[in-house]
Structure 1
C-alpha cells in the first residue's frame, strides 16, 4: 500500500477570497424555509407537493438505484462462490466406458485488494450515491420553491382578475354616463368612442387574467401530482406579510448548506477516486481460486471421493499499448472538469444571493414609488373629473387619467407578487437541505455525510 497514490480533499478553485454579502438581516431561516411566511395555505400545498410530486419521487428512485450500485461494488470485497452439478447417462454401457457420469462441486475466487483498487472503486460509487442524495435534496428545494411561486402567482392572477372586473364595471358605468350627456349635447361623439375603446381594452385584460388563473392552477395541479384537467380546489389565499430580511451568514457557510454545492463537491471526490483507481489498475493483481469436486460414473458413490485444487495467480500489466496511461489521463481530466464545475456552482450560488438582495432592495423602492404614483393619479383623476363635469376639461384628459390609474393599480399587485418571488429566491439561495418523508437513514449509509 505504500506505493499506492494518496487521495486528498479538494479545495475551492476560486483564487479571490469572497467578501461578505452586501446586506444582512437578523432573522434565522427555518429549516423548512417556506414556514417563514406563516401562511397555512402555502404550508399545506408544499407538504402535499413534497409527498405527491412525481418528479421528486423519480429523483428518490434514482438515489435508490445508486445505493444498489454501491452494494454491488462492495460485493467485490468478498469471495465469489458458486456450486455446480452435472449428470449424464451413456448407453449401451458395455460398448462404451460410460454409464452414469455425475459430478458436483464448489468453486471460489477472491482477489486480494493489495493496492486498494477495489476499495477506491467502492469509495467512488459511494460519493456518487452521496451526490445523488444531495441531488434529491436540491430537487425537493426546487419543488418547494416552484410551489410557493405558483401559489403567489395564482394569488396575483386572482387579485388582478377581481380588479379588472371592477374596472370593467367602472368603465361601463362611465360609458353610460357619457351617452346620457351626449344626448343632451354636452360631449362629443368621439368621447364615447374613446370610452368604448377603454371598455374593450379592459375586457381584453380580463380575458388575459382569466387565462392566467387557469394556467397557474394547472401548473399547481401538476406540482401536487394531480391531472390538470381535474377540478382541483385550491383555497383562497392572500399575499403574506413579508418577513424580516434573513441572516445571510458568511459566504463560505453557504457551501456547507446548499445541497447543489454539496452534490458538486461529492462528484469531485468521486472523480478523484476514479483517477486513483485508474492508477491502481496499472499495478499487479493477486487472486486465489479454490475448486472442490466429486465425480463418479456411479451416482451412488458420487460423494465418496473429493478432489481439491487451490491456486494462486498474479497478473501484472506489461504492454497494453498505452491504454492504462490513457485511462489515467482521461480520469484526471474528468476530475479537473468536476473541480471547475464545483467552483462555478459556488460562484453561481454567491451570485444568486447577491442578486436577490439587490433586487429586493430595489423592488421595495419601486413599490414606494408606485404607491406615490397611485396616490397622485387618484388625486389627479378626481380633479379632472370635477373639471370635466364643470365643462372646464376635455374628456380625453379624463380618459388618459383613468387608464393610467387603473394600470397603476394592476402594476401594484404585480409588484407585490414580484417582491414575494424575490424573497422566495433569496430563501432558496440561502437555505440548506430539509428532511422529507423519504428521509434516508444515514446510520445505514455511513458514506452519506451532511
Structure 2
C-alpha cells in the first residue's frame, strides 16, 4: 500500500512539474523587424529593345574576350574559394539535418576481477540508441536556417562570378584603349618629330629663333613622356588580367588589339520587380534574412522543455558459453526543462532578434542599391554620349585652328607659340576622346552588371584563338575550380535538397 501511494505521489508530482515548467518557460513575442514599401516601384528611366544574354559579355561579339572570361571561370582563385565555401555550407546543412535522426552506437564492455579465490569476468555488448524529440521544431528550425544559408552562399557564388566577368571585361577593354593610345602617341610623336626637323631646317636658314626650336623639342619630349606613362599602364593591366585568369603575372603578354568596339544596342532593363528576382546579391541578402529568422525561431524553441528518448539492447555473459544467452532490453525517457540559466537563453533570443533586424535592413539597402546602380548607369551613359559628341567637335575645331595658325605662322602673321598651343590642344583632345570612349564602354559594363542574373559558370568549349596571350614555355594556366560537381543540388540525410526555394525568389537547385 505504501509503495502504491508513493508511486501515485511521484506521478502527480511529475505532472505538476511538467505544467509548471511549461508555464515558466515562457514565450518570446515576435517583434516587427521593419517595413518595406509595398507599392509597385516605378519603371526605369530608359530601356532598350534587346534582351541582354545570360552571358552578358558575349553582347560585344569579341571571341577573344569570351575566351578570357571562360579561362577565368576555370582558373580564378577567388571563384574557386567561393565554390569551396558552397561545399562547406552544404556539408554543414547535412550535419545539422543529422540531428533529426536517432543516434545508434555499438557498445562493448569487459570487466575482470582478480583477487583471492577464482577470478571473475563479465562481458557486455550490444547497441545503444538515443533520440531527441523535436517537440517545438528547434532542430527543424536550425536545419532550415542552414539550408537557407547554403542557398545564400550559392547566390554569393554567382555574384562573385558576375563581378569576375565584369573585372575581366573592364581590364580587357582598358588594355585595348591603352594599345590605341600607344598607336595614337606614335602618330603624334612622328608628327612632332617631323615638325622639329622642319623647325631645325628653318633655324639653319636663319628664318626663326632658337626658342621656337626648343619649344618644338619640348613638345616631342612631352609626347614621349606620355607614351612612357601609357606603356606602364599597359603592363600593369596585363598583370591584373593574368592574376584574374589564375596565371603568373611575370610571363603573360596579351594582344587584345588597338581598336575599341562600338557599343552594342541598349539592353532591355525590364521591370524593377524582375530585377530583384534576377540579381544574385539581392537574393543572397533575402535568403540570409530568412536564415536569421529561422535562427530566431530555434532560439525561442530552446526555452521550452525537451524530451530525450533512449534504448539499449545488451548481452551480458560471465563465461564464453553463455555469451549469447542473456539479453537485456532497456527503454527510457527524459524530460528536461530550463528553470534557471542566468538569462542565457533569453539573451540568445535577443541576439538573434537583433540579427534578424540587421539582415532585414541589409536586404532593403541592397534592393535600393540595385535600383540605383541601374539608374546611375543609364544617366552616366546618356551624358557620356553627349560629352563624346562635344569632344569630337572640339577635335575638329582644334585641327582647323592648328592648320590655320600654321599657315599664318609660315607667312609671318602668327607667333609659333600660338601654333604650338594649338597642336598641344589638338593632341590632348585626341587622347581625351579615346579615354572618353573607354569610359562609355565601362559605363555600359556597369549597366550589364547591374541588370545581370545567374549564368552557367561551367567553362565552355572554345576553339583555340591565336594571338590572345603568350606564356613562357612550360607554364600552364592553373586549373583550380572544377565547379560542375558542386553546382548541382545536394541532398541531406532526410532526402531534401539543401537549396531552399522560396515562393518569392527563384534560385538555382
Question: TM-score higher than 0.5 here?
Answer: yes
TM-score under structure 1 length normalisation: 0.94
Correspondence for 2:79: 56
Hey, what's the Cα distance between the residues in 2 that align with 1:246 and 1:443? 35
Query: Residue 237 and residue 304 in structure 1: after superposition, are their counterparts in 2 closer, same or farther (change >3 A)?
Result: farther
Correspondence for 2:175: 154
Q: Secondary structure at the match of 1:256?
A: helix
2:130 paired with 1:113: no
The answer to whether the Cα contact below 8 Å between 2:175 and 2:256 also exists between their aligned partners in 1 is: no
Q: Size of the alignment, in residue pairs?
A: 446
Hey, what's the Cα distance between the residues in 2 that align with 1:236 and 1:448? 45
Alignment of structure 1 residues 77-156 onto 2, 5 Å: 77-87=100-110, 89-91=112-114, 95=116, 98-156=119-177
Aligned mate of 1:177, from 198, 201, 204: 198
Correspondence for 1:255: 276
Aligned mate of 2:383, from 350, 362, 376: 362
2:379 paired with 1:332: no
CA shift digits 1:141-175 (9 cap, x unpaired):
00000000000000011111121122122212211
The answer to whether the Cα contact below 8 Å between 2:314 and 2:329 also exists between their aligned partners in 1 is: yes
Correspondence for 1:43: 66
Hey, what's the Cα distance between the residues in 1 that align with 2:35 and 2:270? 18
Unaligned segments of structure 1, at least 5 residues:
none
Alignment of structure 1 residues 11-50 onto 2, 5 Å: 13-14=36-37, 18-50=41-73
Hey, what's the Cα distance between the residues in 1 that align with 2:73 and 2:34? 34
Hey, what's the Cα distance between the residues in 2 that align with 1:111 and 1:435? 41
The answer to whether the Cα contact below 8 Å between 1:7 and 1:272 also exists between their aligned partners in 2 is: no
Unaligned segments of structure 2, at least 5 residues:
1-25, 459-482, 492-496, 502-506
Correspondence for 1:196: 217
2:189 paired with 1:168: yes
CA shift digits 1:182-233 (9 cap, x unpaired):
1111111111111111111111111111101100011110111101012344
Hey, what's the Cα distance between the residues in 1 that align with 2:34 and 2:448? 26
Compute the RMSD of aligned alpha carbons.
2.2
The answer to whether the Cα contact below 8 Å between 1:360 and 1:419 also exists between their aligned partners in 2 is: yes
The answer to whether the Cα contact below 8 Å between 1:84 and 1:104 also exists between their aligned partners in 2 is: yes
Q: Secondary structure at the match of 2:278?
A: coil
TM-score under structure 2 length normalisation: 0.83
> How many Å apart are 1:117 and its aligned residue?
1.1
Q: Secondary structure at the match of 2:393?
A: helix
Aligned mate of 1:423, from 438, 444, 458: 444
CA shift digits 1:297-341 (9 cap, x unpaired):
324432221211100111112222222222111111110010000
Hey, what's the Cα distance between the residues in 2 that align with 1:140 and 1:395? 55
Alignment of structure 1 residues 379-390 onto 2, 5 Å: 379-390=400-411
Hey, what's the Cα distance between the residues in 1 that align with 2:71 and 2:258? 16
CA shift digits 1:82-106 (9 cap, x unpaired):
11223355556xx256344422121
Q: Secondary structure at the match of 2:233?
A: helix
